[in-house]
A and B are shown apart, each in its own frame.
Chain A
């Protein structure tokens, strides 16, 4: 039972263009969503988050959009840079359950070509 799904295992974009990574979830109790970036042999690094009371959050080149009715979120990276090449994980939590444990998707490998 995969509660958080990233259906695209990989994505390749040209430097300077937009990267769009997608994530779907099934549990309507999720109220906080995060994106993490992971390089090989390192732990995941927090990138950006969004609360369920918002539909957009922006931080520099990174914007996360949340569509609660569709149970879908996306991460936009503009402009994409070669250093953005990594595995990106979408994660969700339900703080109403007083735990904060994260449920992760399977990850999407982004390659940004120079």
Chain B
């Protein structure tokens, strides 16, 4: 079946602009996670959704970052007033409750 998909695969934006990154989880997976991976590092947790609600947003670095999952399926990660330090690969994962997480291919964000 289809895996986790993320769009766009690459995004280049100018400092100060707003961006949206989209994640389509595996059908039937109630849990959805966003991670950020910088070069040479492991993925870093950002936020976790159980259904429509953000059950744990402790990894969001500041209030410029926001994520939604209005219907409990697709999720959008929103970044306001982007900074060069936001450049990274943003990974989305989904899972059944208590099961292993399946990752999408990621969105490479470059802030110039």
Tell me the A residues contacting B by CB distance below 8 Å: 4, 6, 34, 36, 41-46, 49, 89, 91, 95, 98-107
Give the size of the chain B interface in residues (CB under 8 angstroms): 27
Other CB < 8 Å A-B pairs besides A43-B4, A99-B48, A102-B43, 8 of them? Answer: A43-B104, A43-B106, A100-B97, A102-B33, A102-B45, A104-B43, A106-B40, A107-B40
* Chain B residues within an 8 Å CB radius of A95: 98
Tell me the B residues contacting A by CB distance below 8 Å: 4, 31, 33, 35, 40-45, 48, 55-56, 58-59, 91, 93, 95, 97-98, 100-106
Minimum distance in angstroms from A54 CB to a CB of chain B: 15
User: Which of A6, A34, A103 interacts with B45 by CB under 8 Å?
Assistant: A103
Known: A43-B103, A43-B106, A46-B102. A104 touches B91 (CB 8 A): no
* Number of interchain pairs (Cβ within 8 Å): 59
In the complex, residue of chain A having the shortest beta-carbon distance to the beta carbon of B42 = A104
Known: A99-B56, A100-B31, A100-B48. A89 touches B105 (CB 8 A): no
Contact yes or no, B44 A104, CB < 8 A:
yes
User: Which of B42, B98, B106 interacts with A107 by CB under 8 Å?
Assistant: B42
19 residue pairs from A and B, CB less than 8 Å apart: A36-B103, A43-B93, A43-B105, A44-B43, A44-B91, A44-B103, A45-B103, A46-B100, A95-B98, A100-B95, A100-B98, A101-B33, A101-B45, A101-B56, A102-B43, A102-B101, A104-B43, A105-B42, A106-B42
* Chain A residues within an 8 Å CB radius of B106: 43
In the complex, residue of chain B having the shortest beta-carbon distance to the beta carbon of A45 = B103
* Chain B residues within an 8 Å CB radius of A4: 42
Contact yes or no, B101 A46, CB < 8 A:
yes
